[in-house]
Every structure is written in C-alpha cells, then in structure tokens.
Structure 1
Amino acid sequence: MGRRPMIQRETVARAAIEIVDADGPAALSLERIATKLGVKAPSLYNHFSDKTEILAEAARAIVLETPGHGDVVDGDWVSWLIDGAVAFRNTLLTHARAVPLVVENFPRRLLERLYAQHCRVLDENGVPVERQMFIVESVHRMTIGSAMCLATGRPAMAAPADPDQFDAAVLATLTSGDWNDDRLFVEMMRAFLVGTGASEG
C-alpha cells in the first residue's frame, strides 16, 4: 500500500488560510506556508505551479465552506437566494482578512457551476430566462461588496463624522441603532430582488 503524500493540495490551502486569518494577506509567502507544514518551500512546486495557484486553491476552500441552504419553499425563490447569500457572506466573514484574497482569486469554474445551478432553480420557479443571470450576478456582487465593506472596517449606517451635513430626520436614522450590517444586507437584497419585477405573478 502506497504512502500518503506528505503534502496535499488541501493541506497547503488550509495552511495558507490559517496564515491569512492570523496575520493578513501580506504575511503569506511560500516560505511561511512551508514552515507551517514542516517542509521546504521548493517542495510546494510539486503540487502547485506558483503562489497564484495556491491562492486560488485557498479561495476555493473558503468558498466551499459555505453550507447548503436547502430547496425553494412555496416558490419563494427570493428568500432562497437571500438565505444562500447570507450563508456565503457569513463564510467570507469567518475569514474576514482573507476576503480580498477570495475576491481576487475566485475560482471561475466553481463560480460558473454555482451560477448555472442558481439559474436552473430560478427557471424552475418561473423567473424569466432573460433576468436570471442579471439576478444571480447582481446577488453575487452585492454579497462580495457587503463582505468587503465589513471586512475592511467600514460598518453600515454608522454615525457620521460631520453630522451637520445631514437633515435631522436622516441623522436620527443613522444614530438610532436600528440598523446594522446584517439587517442592511438582508433588506438591501430583498429590495433589489423584489424590485427586479421577476417575482411578480
């Protein structure tokens, strides 16, 4: 029986994620990964052509952590899409320091498979074909954008630095505490999806 290789692609990807989670993307290097795994840096080239390929594998591993979110219930594809987007956003924010890495190295084939799956679900639930990719791509971009804002320290609906610029009523909404990033994301998504008109009977 053959020996299991000391280095595996998923092990390297996981080591890269752990380094970025702890110290940010700037800390990631082949030498740091190799040290973490107890091997020499050149041995990584037996499994990856370069650092870019390791980043892509790490991004893929993070994306695949997103849990499934079941089937559409009673034709409510809007809630189904929102639930999936929330799950993906939560996964990204579990690795907040790695969000830029995922954005820059998002595995294209995996993304295309997810898009195709989502289009099939929308089609099964009566969404016009000409709106399907528009909706799916927009949801993906809003999810990534929301995660990037929060991961880089830009909270939603925060009290302004210069409150005199705002009408008193608007300022009251900003300082009420009624809004946070999670609520803003869900309500933004729902407003967009209902506003597409694709959910009308």
Structure 2
Amino acid sequence: MIRAAIEIADADGPGSLSLERIAAALGVKAPSLYNHFSDKAEILAGVARSIVMETPRTPAPVGGDWKQWLIESSVRFRETLLKHSRAAPLVVEYFPRGLLEKLYAEHCLVLAAANVPTNYQMFILEATHRMTIGAAMCVATGRPAMAPFANPDQFDDQLNESMQQGNWSDAKLFTEMLRVFMDGAEADYSRRELQLDQPS
C-alpha cells in the first residue's frame, strides 16, 4: 500500500494522494484501507518514513574524518529525496521524528568519537539536516543553483561576473555549503577550547 502511494506521489505530487486513488491502484475499495491505517495522515506518514528509510547508510568514518562522513551522509539523503522530488514536500511535512531522533543519537556517537564537543554535536547535526532538506526542496521546486539572471543588464558587471564564477551546479553548491559550515564550526570550537586552555 505504501509503495503504491509513493508511486502516485512520485508521478503526480502529494495532492494526488486520495484514498480512492490509492485503493484503485491496489484494486480494492477505499474503506478497506482503514483495515491497515487509521486515517490518511497515517498513510502519508508511512510514505515519508519509507522514503527516508531508502537512504543508504554511510559507514562510520575511519580516522575520525567526521566532516567528510557527514557530508557523504547528507549527500545520500539529498539524493534519496530527489529520487522522489515530487513527494519531497510530503516528506518534510510528515518527517518521521522518532527515526530522526534515533539517527541523531547514532550520529552524536560518531561526532563524540571524533572529539567534537558535546555542546556542538546537535547544533552541527540539526543545521546540516536543515541545509539538506532546504537544498533538496530548492531543486524539487525548480529553483536551480546560481541560475543566471533573467535580465543581467539590470545589474552591474561585478555581480554578473560573480554569478558566472565557479560553475555552481546544485550538487557542488550543496557539498561546498556543508563543507564551509563544518569547517567554520570546527574552527569555532577549536578556538574556544584553545582559549580555555590558556592560563588566565
């Protein structure tokens, strides 16, 4: 049933997910769906959970390279969302919180093993999660990275030149955005630790 609902959402978007259409895809009557789910919201939550669960797991880093590991994990999640781009808004609305909390707990262990301070762990994970969701939604809703201006003559040469530098694809923008953020977070907690170690 969930697979049928995902296929409908992938084809025509979340707005097409009526009980009648899901039932028709399964060759049953709509009321029979209530034998498995209490209401439509539970079906939508099941769709969101199933899509999230498709994300391949990234093995824990060897040698403590938590930044590259977290970038790879985020890239895999973004790619999963984009495989279901028309259903991505549904995943955001019905994101399985219990699953996210379990994932956060596992990821905190990895960050702790890499000596990331406890007070930075959830900050890094939540920020990365939000950037991943936002980046996927931009692509899913048809807003490409660094799209050329429709009327470049309205802007000065410096701005137009900046837009043309770097050949920013959506994938490159996403990974570099994460990398700069994580480098900044690492630099910040390293600086704070250094200040604490210095004699007063």
User: Is the structural similarity TM-score above 0.5?
Assistant: yes
Task: Provide TM-score, normalisation by structure 1.
Answer: 0.90
Deviation at 1:166, TM superposition (A): 3.5
Q: Does 1:149 align with 2:149?
A: no
Task: Provide TM-score, normalisation by structure 2.
Answer: 0.90
Higher helix content, 1 or 2: 2
Distance (Å, rounded) in 1 between the aligned partners of 2:95 and 2:39: 16
Match of 1:21 among 4, 7, 10: 10
Q: Counterpart in 2 of 1:197? A: 186
Q: Counterpart in 2 of 1:181? A: 170
Deviation at 1:176, TM superposition (A): 4.9
**Which runs of 4 or more aligned residues in structure 1 lie more than 3 Å from their structure 2 counterparts after TM superposition?**
164-167, 198-201
Matches within 5 A, 1:22-171: 22-171=11-160
Superimposed CA distance per residue, residues 94-151 of structure 1 (whole angstroms, 9 cap, x where no aligned partner): 0000000000000110011011111111011100000000000000000000000000
* CA RMSD in angstroms, aligned pairs only: 1.5
Residues 159 and 177 of structure 1, relative CA distance in 2, 3 Å threshold:
farther
Q: Counterpart in 2 of 1:5? A: none
Corresponding residue SS for 1:39: coil
Q: Where does structure 2 lack aligned partners over 5 or more consecutive residues?
A: 194-200
Q: Where does structure 1 lack aligned partners over 5 or more consecutive residues?
A: 1-11
Aligned-pair identity in percent equals 63
Superimposed CA distance per residue, residues 138-188 of structure 1 (whole angstroms, 9 cap, x where no aligned partner): 000000000000000000101012323433233123235711100000000
Aligned residues: 190
Are 1:158 and 1:175, in contact at CA under 8 Å, matched by a contact in 2? no
Deviation at 1:73, TM superposition (A): 2.5
Are 1:13 and 1:54, in contact at CA under 8 Å, matched by a contact in 2? yes
Equivalent position amino acid for 1:145 in 2: G
Distance (Å, rounded) in 1 between the aligned partners of 2:130 and 2:120: 16
Distance (Å, rounded) in 1 between the aligned partners of 2:63 and 2:162: 34
